[in-house]
Amino acid sequence: MNWRLLYSPWAWAEWFRTTSARLHAEHVAWNLRAVRPYIQPRMRVLDVGAWDCRLARAVRDELGARVTAVDVVDKNCTDVELRIMPAPASLPVDDDERFDAVLLLYVLHHAADDLALLREAARVVAPGGTVLVGEDRVESWRERVRTVAFHIWLLTFTFMGWKGRFRRIEAWRDRFASAGLAVREVIELDAEGRFFPRNLLFVLRPG
Ligand SMILES: C[S@@+](CC[C@H](N)C(=O)[O-])C[C@H]1O[C@@H](n2cnc3c(N)ncnc32)[C@H](O)[C@@H]1O
């Protein structure tokens, strides 16, 4: 117990700073563990919905990939190249540029038009490349309650609302097929923490 917390606002500020740094580091490590098997050194990786770009930096520094980040907002706190999307479902990627892996981690349910974003992912992924989609599980009503409650918490603390939908696995399969993406694997991930939703990683290939 830090007794200074009982009387010192500076102790609170310090506690908040260290806790927030620890949570950020744990989140990056957790995401990195999920994508690591699909990323090799020198691969071209596009991280869509990269938020603060900490994961993009870890993919570059720890896995040796060449990473570009994309988002609708600029929260970049790293030196990774971040491209701001000109419109919510339009990736700023020219026709002569392609990526070996496209990451859409916990992004699709935030997007008003997830199908358009998926079609964009299918457009920019290289032949034989991989699209990795992370989503929160809502297979049962309990999982849906947990997922929605978590996102209300997220909205409260980060003002990050969600404009799209949480879908069940079969509904996601249909969505991916409509975008021309085939499901190769569905991986059940552990919850990131005790109060977090359980998560899924979809491994997709064009065609
Ligand atoms: C829950 S955060 C996920 C951040 C990061 N991918 C991760 O796993 O930690 C959702 C991200 O999606 C972004 N986002 C929301 N709508 C988007 C859209 N239409 N296209 C791309 N990114 C979007 C948000 O700005 C935010 O960075």
Residue 169, classified by CB atoms within 10 Å of its CB into exposed (0-12), middle (13-18) or buried (19+), is middle
Compare 65 and 158 and report the one with higher pLDDT.
Answer: 65
pLDDT, mean over the chain: 93
Compare 74 and 9 and report the one with higher pLDDT.
Answer: 74
Domain assignment of residue 3, yes or no? no
Domain assignment of residue 192, yes or no? yes
Closest CA to 110 of 50, 59, 67: 50
Q: How far is the CA of 39 from the centre of ligand 1 (A)?
A: 20
Domain assignment of residue 65, yes or no? yes
What is the domain-level CATH number for residue 46? 3.40.50.150
Q: How many domains does the chain fold into?
A: 1
Domain assignment of residue 118, yes or no? yes
d(C-alpha 65, C-alpha 206), whole Å = 21
Band of pLDDT at residue 1, cut at 50, 70 and 90: low
Q: How many H helices and E strands in the chain?
A: 5, 7
Is ligand 1 within 6 A of the CB of residue 31?
yes
Total-model pTM = 0.92
Domain assignment of residue 8, yes or no? no
Whole-number CA gyration radius for the chain: 18
Domain assignment of residue 15, yes or no? no
Domain assignment of residue 7, yes or no? no
pLDDT in tens, 133-145: 999 999 999 999 9
d(C-alpha 63, C-alpha 35), whole Å = 10
Q: What are phi and psi of 101, to 5 degrees?
A: -140, 135
Among protein residues, the one whose CA lies closest to atom 5 of ligand 1: 50
Domain assignment of residue 52, yes or no? yes
Mean pLDDT for 27-32 is 95
Atom of ligand 1 nearest to the CA of 54: 9
- In this model, does residue 108 exceed pLDDT 90? yes
d(C-alpha 137, C-alpha 139), whole Å = 6
Mean pLDDT for 153-180 is 92
Q: 203 in helix, strand or coil?
A: strand
What's the domain range around 148? 38-206
